[in-house]
Chains A and B, each alone.
Chain A
Amino acid sequence: MSVKLTTRQVGDVTVIDAAGRITLGEGSSTFRDTIKDMTGKGQKKILLNLADVSYIDSSGIGELVSGFTTVSNAGGSLKLLNLTKRIHDLLQITKLYTIFEVFDDEAKGLASFN
């Protein structure tokens, strides 16, 4: 299964609920296109919920970083919510834990934008 992205608006924050696998090919391009579409529409406060992402390869990690850069360059911020242990470990190995703001609680993640 490739990744499925569902978006919902909570105040001025866009929450992306991701599910499935973010790997080289369709999964990573779907994520990239969604982020570009959002920043094009002026949605610059993005909380990415990874609770149901079962797998992310190094290409998918690269897409997370690219999304972070795209949103930051547009004057906004992309933050992460509900990392699985495996994704948490990958962000530690790659030192990306120092780049991303990460939340385990959606309310706290939403509040951090204001």
Chain B
Amino acid sequence: MNSADNPVVVSVDQYLESNLENVDASEERAVRLARETGFSEDDCYQLGYAVREALVNAIVHGNRYSANKRVHFKLSRTSESIHVLIEDEGNGFLPGDQADPLAQENLLSQSGRGIMIIRAFVDEFVIEKTASGGTRVAMKKTLPPGT
């Protein structure tokens, strides 16, 4: 199926202030969109969870709660998938910068598990540095075949 048959429809395209109050509402919007697209409740939860974790990373670790920095949050859908884009204005972060949270010596670390859980909950996950130095996360969750 080409993109003309299954167009991408943008549902949310916002520049959020860097505070945690925006996280709950954004997670809820992702869950609502997933529900409208026909995902199961477990899949809706997983997509919402991934959005929450990525947004928290952008606000806390990327923009460091700065009042002068925004988080670009974009949600779009086709008839069979949800696409999420989250981009911060921080100093850039790649998972390779982080210790392996599953290594025995790191199991008791207090942090560092968010990206691992995101990877488990979505079908595609790309994280990269932006041209301006921040971090861009792109995620996709697809309806199971036959849904």
Contacts and interface: CB of A to CB of B under 8 A. Distances in A.
Contact of B52 (A57, A65, A66): A57
B128 interface: no
23 contacts: A24-B60, A25-B20, A57-B49, A57-B52, A57-B114, A58-B111, A58-B113, A58-B114, A59-B56, A59-B111, A62-B109, A62-B110, A65-B107, A66-B110, A68-B108, A93-B120, A94-B101, A94-B102, A94-B113, A94-B116, A95-B102, A95-B107, A99-B108
A40 to B, nearest CB: 19
B73 interface: no
Interface of B: 20, 45, 49, 52-53, 56, 60, 101-102, 107-111, 113-114, 116-117, 120
Given A57-B52, A58-B53, A95-B102, A90 B110 contact: no
A93 B117 contact: yes
A111 to B, nearest CB: 26
A96 B107 contact: yes
A61 interface: yes
A69 interface: yes
A25 B102 CA distance: 25
Contacts of A98: 107
B107 A58 contact: no
Interface string A79-114: 000000010001001111011000000000000000
Interface string A1-26: 00000000000000000000001110
